[in-house]
Amino acid sequence: MSVLKSRWADGCQWYNDRPIRERVLVLLTVC
């Protein structure tokens, strides 16, 4: 469980470092 949590934290950190346009692209790709 802690592994999944740390991976989620890394993903959030990466996401927060992205510019707004890239965030939108990621969301569109995921959805």
pTM, rounded to two decimals: 0.44
Tell me, what's the pLDDT at 21?
A: 93
pLDDT for 1-31, tens place per residue?
688 889 989 988 988 888 999 989 988 998 7
Tell me, what's the pLDDT at 17?
A: 87
H-state helical runs in 1-31: 2-17, 20-30
Tell me, what's the pLDDT at 1?
A: 64
Q: What are phi and psi of 19, to 5 degrees?
A: -70, 165
